[in-house]
Chains A and B, each alone.
Chain A
Amino acid sequence: MTKLKYILQLADTALILGHRLSEWTGHGPILEQDMALTNIALDLVGQARSLYQHAAEVEGKGRTEDDLAYLRTTTDFLNPLIVEIPNGNFGDTIARQFFFDVYNHTFYTELQKSKDATLSAIAEKSLKEVKYHLRYSSDWMRRLGDGTEESHQKIQTAVDSIWMYTGELTTMNEVEKEMLSEGIGVNLESIKPIWTEKVKAVLAEATLTMPESTWMQSGGKDGKHTEHLGFILAEMQHLQRTHPGATW
């Protein structure tokens, strides 16, 4: 069912990035940044829950939000690769977050028009939270880029190495094309130029160079992942796998 796949794609994206950011708990460079990254993680996991609940309802086979998060394997996950790549240093995390937030903000703005009332409601709700995320990651891009020689060099390296994962965000797969034609999904082609403009503007303010490479990694949205996702799922799912049905 295409609609189920589409919702799972959105849910997996929020959950995996939320999980990645939660790895910063207790490891942030300073307390405020520790709290900021984990606050964003909490928002994303919350959004993932709403999306998984909707997916479970659409599927209608008795699976719950927990089943969908904890009992699917790597090839079942449909998130783009950018959200599963490791946190790296603080700059790597910020660059990944910034590229994603620009996309996510534009995406949810458009998803509010979805013919699916629940998706539209989730978009409206999430957008208010993503607004803070985008402000935060954009601020840090400027601060690190326009900061010291070392911070500039590190964030430029992060931008350059994560760049190849950004293309997948705004390239449509078959599921997304079908959902667009039904008025449920978002037109990523129309998001692409907006994304590029916004990224370009912040990178310029941050005195950073926008990479020119056009070769992009892809496959995550169709279930083909980097080796990193398996390790995330191993950690995230091990309790449910070891003690099936365990609850608080």
Chain B
Amino acid sequence: MTVKEILSKVCDPEIPVLTIDDLGIIRDIIEQDDQVEVVITPTYSGCPAMNMIEVNIKAALQEHGYQKIKVTTILSPAWTTDWLTESGKQKLKAYGIAPPIGSVEKADLLGEQNIECPQCNSTNTEMLSQFGSTACKSLFRCKDCLEPFDYFKCH
């Protein structure tokens, strides 16, 4: 298995249906001789999952025989939900979290609009709080099926 394939099996500890590949936080993989360097970028500055992700990356690579592993964090360019993969978005929805809609520019301009309820697909929804159970989510409610749900906000 290539390093990329190994890493594509490492999951986000807080949203375990997503791999770090789905999240788009792997910025580079540098293999030199017997050393491998993985460059990642945090989703949010204070995301407590980042330390865990670093540990999990190292563990996954060690399991496949890599000894010299370095995980480097870079901040620029800053992570954006535009880097979430399509399959990542689908997995989020199936998990009950509404995936980000449209681009960050559009959300900045028009606000978060027409967020679809992951349960009944209605867009008749309203924001309860722009801050949710983790830094990357807002709290919404569906006005048709009345279910509250998390929205993975455009960032």
Contact = CB atoms under 8 A, between A and B. Distances in A.
Interface stretch (A45-53, A215-223, A229-237): A45-53
Interface in A131-145: 131-132, 135-136
A125 B77 CA distance: 8
A124 to B, nearest CB: 5
Q: Is the interface of B mostly helix, strand, loop or mixed?
A: loop
B111 to A, nearest CB: 9
Number of contact residues on A: which range applies? 20 to 34
A35 B75 contact: no
A56 to B, nearest CB: 14
Nearest to B139: A32
B46 interface: yes
Nearest to A40: B131
A50 B155 CA distance: 19
Contact of A50 (B48, B75, B132): B75
B120 interface: no
Contacts of B155: 128
Interface residues of B, number: 23
A171 interface: no
B130 A120 contact: no
B130 A132 contact: yes
B131 A125 contact: no
Interface string B79-98: 11000000000000000000
Contact of B46 (A33, A42, A122, A132): A42
Interface in A65-124: 117-118, 120-122, 124
Interface string B39-83: 000101111100000000000000000000000001111111000
A16 to B, nearest CB: 15
A35 B45 contact: no
A132 B128 CA distance: 14
Contacts of A50: 45, 75
B133 interface: yes
Contact of B45 (A43, A117, A131): A43
A184 B32 CA distance: 35
A50 B80 CA distance: 18
Given A35-B133, A46-B47, A120 B76 contact: yes
B129 interface: yes
Contacts of A131: 108
Nearest to B79: A125
A128 B46 contact: no
Interface of A: 32-33, 35-36, 39-40, 42-47, 49-50, 117-118, 120-122, 124-126, 128-129, 131-132, 135-136
8 contacts: A32-B131, A39-B131, A42-B46, A47-B45, A121-B75, A124-B76, A124-B78, A132-B131
Closest 4 CB pairs of A and B: A46-B46, A46-B45, A121-B76, A42-B46
